[in-house]
Amino acid sequence: MWKIKSLSWSKINTFETSRSQFIKTYFEEEPFFETKEILFWKILWTIIELWSFDEDEIIRAISKDRNWEIQEVEAWKVKTYKEIISRISENEDFVEKLLNFQFDLFPVYEQKLQQFIDGICCLGFIDNCPDIVDDWLHTFREFKTWKKTWDQDRANNHWQLYFYALMIEEQSWIIPKTAYLDWIVTSEDENGNIIPTWEIKTFKVDIDPKEVKKWRKRIPKIFKDMNDEYEKWLESQEWQLEIDTSKMKEYAELERQKKDILDKQAILKDEIDKEMKDKKVDSYKQDWIWSFYYIQKKKWDYPEDIISKEETINEKFKEELQEIVILKQEFEEKNEPEVSSTLSFRLWK
AA letter at 214 = K
Is pLDDT at 126 greater than 60 in this prediction?
yes
Q: Is residue 98 part of a domain?
A: yes
Judge if 271 and 145 occupy the same domain: no
Residues 29 and 237: beta-carbon distance below 8 Å? no
Residues 6+ apart with CB under 8 A from 194: 36, 37, 40, 84, 87, 146, 186, 187, 188
Share of the chain above pLDDT 90, in %: 30
Q: Distance (Å, rounded) from C-alpha 143 to C-alpha 128?
A: 8
- Over 60: is that where the pLDDT of 135 sits? no
Q: Does 179 lie in the same domain as 128?
A: yes
276: Cα within 13 Å, side-chain hemisphere: 15
196 and 275 belong to one structural domain: no
Nearest CA to 129 out of 145, 116, 115, 112 is that of: 112
Domain membership of residue 313 (yes or no) is no
Give the pLDDT score at 127.
92
Integer-rounded Cα radius of gyration of the chain? 26
Per-residue model confidence (pLDDT) at position 61: 87
254 and 228 inside one domain: no
* Residue at 49 is within a domain: no
Residue 183 pairs with which residues in a beta bridge? 144, 201
The span from the CA of 33 to the CA of 45, in Å, is 19
> Could you please report the per-residue DSSP string of 295-325?
PP-------HHHHHHHHHHHHHHHHHHHHHH
- For residue 281, pLDDT over 60 is answered with yes
What is the distance in angstroms between the CA of the first residue and the CA of the last residue of the chain?
30
What percent of the chain is predicted at pLDDT more than 70? 93
Domain housing 174? 6-33+91-236
Residues 16 and 154 placed together within one structural domain of the fold: yes
Residue 141 located in a structural domain: yes
Gap between the Cα atoms of 109 and 92, Å rounded: 25
CATH number of the CATH domain containing 10: 3.90.320
Tell me, yes or no, whether 220 and 260 share the same domain. no
pLDDT at 346: 65
Residues 264, 182 share a domain: no
Model pLDDT for residues 141-156, shown as the tens digit of each residue:
999 987 778 999 999 9
Asked if pLDDT for residue 349 goes beyond 60, the answer is no
- Comparison of pLDDT for 137 and 276, the residue scoring more: 276
What is the Cα–Cα distance from 140 to 128, expressed in whole angstroms?
6
What are 46-74's pLDDT values in tens digits? Answer: 988 888 888 889 888 888 776 667 778 78
pLDDT at 236: 80
Is residue 239's pLDDT more than 80? no
DSSP string covering 70-113: BPP--HHHHHHHHHHHHHHHT-HHHHHHHHHHHTTS-SEEEEEE
Mean pLDDT for all residues in the chain? 86
pLDDT reported for residue 347: 64
Q: How many domains does the chain have?
A: 2
Q: Is the domain of 259 the same as that of 180?
A: no
What is the β-pairing status of strands 283-286 and 194-206? unpaired
Q: Which of 70-79, 92-101, 324-333 has the highest mean pLDDT?
A: 92-101
Mean pLDDT of 77-100: 88
Do 207 and 230 fall within a single domain? yes
Helix, strand, or coil (residue 243): coil
Give the bridge partners for 120, in sequence order: 117
What's the full length of the chain, in residues?
349
* pLDDT confidence band for 97 (50 / 70 / 90): confident
For residue 113, what pLDDT is reported?
92
Q: What would the pLDDT profile of 245-255 be if each residue is shown by its tens digit?
A: 788 888 888 88
Please tell me whether residues 183 and 286 are part of one structural domain: no
Q: Is there a single domain that holds both residue 199 and residue 118? A: yes
Rounded Cα–Cα distance for residues 5 and 12 (Å): 12
